[in-house]
Amino acid sequence: MPVESVQKRQVHDIPPPQIIVIEHHAETVICPHCGQIHETSFPDDVPAHLQYGQTIRVLMVYLCIYHLLPMNVPQKSSQTSMDVLLSKQP
Ligand SMILES: [Zn+2]
């Protein structure tokens, strides 16, 4: 049966927020030639063993500073929307 016409409808949406974890490794090796220990370093923006990424930090600052929300509101919201309970510490 030939198609007479096609109508379109679009739904625009935002994908659900999802936590991604990027793990950095810094290797230590002993040079087989000179015997010295050589260490690689972590990126400058990764100073801690565990930290929040830039997007989460920007979102929390936006919610708490620009919208003047108490810290526990975005914290609870992150638990609901991303299934992650953010620390009260920055
Ligand atoms: Zn060497």
Query: Count of domains in the chain?
Result: 1
What does pTM read for this prediction? 0.61
6 domain residue, yes or no: no
What's the 48 CA to ligand 1 centre distance in angstroms? 28
At 71 the pLDDT is 76
Among 53, 71, 52, smallest CA distance to 62 is for: 71
Among 87, 63, 62, smallest CA distance to 73 is for: 63
10 domain residue, yes or no: no
pLDDT band at residue 89 under the 50/70/90 scheme:
low
What's the 49 CA to ligand 1 centre distance in angstroms? 28
Domain of residue 42 covers 28-82
What's the 42 CA to ligand 1 centre distance in angstroms? 20
Distance (Å, rounded) from C-alpha 63 to C-alpha 55? 12
Per-residue pLDDT tens over the stretch 29-88 = 999 999 999 999 999 999 999 998 998 888 888 888 888 888 777 777 777 777 777 776
At 35 the pLDDT is 96
Phi, psi of 61 (to 5 degrees): -65, -45
72 domain residue, yes or no: yes
The pLDDT of 3-27, averaged and rounded, is: 93
